[in-house]
Amino acid sequence: MEKKELICINCPMGCPLTVETEGNEVLSVTGNTCPRGESYARKEVTNPTRIVTTTVRVREGREKMVSVKTETDIPKGKIFECVKQLKDVELMAPVHIGDVILENAAGTGVNVVATKAVL
């Protein structure tokens, strides 16, 4: 059995949560004051995901950088690999919001798209 300490982020309460797990199975969640705390804890210990945002270089545009994001959240463990892949990407202006910058980032099946127009 393994114990993990988390802070719930659903509201400013920030309940300190304790999750007991056995392998990939959640045995118990304690410390939460509402049901949202429990579902947050279950997701966080079994499959934590995040939207990743960073920047990519652009040539011949009005700005040197364009901001980008993963279209949906990706596994937390893939964040650094995703950012690293984007380091090697260089775009040519113009770039538009929603343009796909990188397909299947870090093998997650999720695309990275531009979040700003650089003309």
Partner 1 sequence: MEKYDIVIIGGGPAGLAAAVAARKAGTKSILILERDRELGGILNQCIHNGFGLHTFQEELTGPEYAARFEAQVLELGIEYRLNTMVMDISREKLITAMNRERGMYQIQAGAIVLAMGCRERSRGALNIPGYRPAGIYSAGTAQRLVNMEGYMPGRKVVILGSGDIGLIMARRMTLEGAEVKVVAELMPYSGGLKRNIVQCLDDYGIPLKLSHTVTDIKGKERVEGITLAAVDERGKPIPGTEEDYECDTLLLSVGLIPENELSGQMGVELNSVTSGPVVNESLETSVDGVFACGNVLHVHDLVDFVSEEAAMAGKNAAHYVKDYVEKCTEKSSGYGKVISIQPTGGVRYTVPSFIRPENMVDQLTIRFRVGSVYKKCYVSVYIGEERIIHKKRPVMAPGEMEEIKLEKSRLIGCRDYETVRIQIEEA
What is 19-84 written as a DSSP string?
EEEETTEEEEEES-SSHHHHHHHHHHHH--EE--EEEEEEESSSSSEEEEEESS-EEGGGHHHHHH
Q: Does 16 bind partner 1 (CB under 8 A)?
A: no
Q: Does 63 bind partner 1 (CB under 8 A)?
A: yes
CB of residue 30 vs partner 1: minimum separation in angstroms?
A: 18
How many residues touch partner 1 under the rule CB under 8 A: the total is 28
CB of residue 107 vs partner 1: minimum separation in angstroms?
A: 18
Nearer to partner 1, 14 or 109 (CB): 14
Q: Does 50 bind partner 1 (CB under 8 A)?
A: yes
Q: Does 18 bind partner 1 (CB under 8 A)?
A: no
Instruction: Tell me how far apart the alpha carbons of residues 34 and 72 are, in angstroms, rounded to a whole number.
Output: 26
Instruction: Tell me how far apart the alpha carbons of residues 86 and 57 are, in angstroms, rounded to a whole number.
Output: 9
Residue with tokens 């934590």: 48
Q: Does 85 bind partner 1 (CB under 8 A)?
A: no
- Grouping H, G, I as helix, E, B as strand and the rest as coil, residue 117 is coil
Residues lying near partner 1 in the complex (CB under 8 A) are found at 6-7, 9, 11-14, 33, 50-55, 57, 63-65, 67, 69, 76, 79-80, 83, 97, 115-117
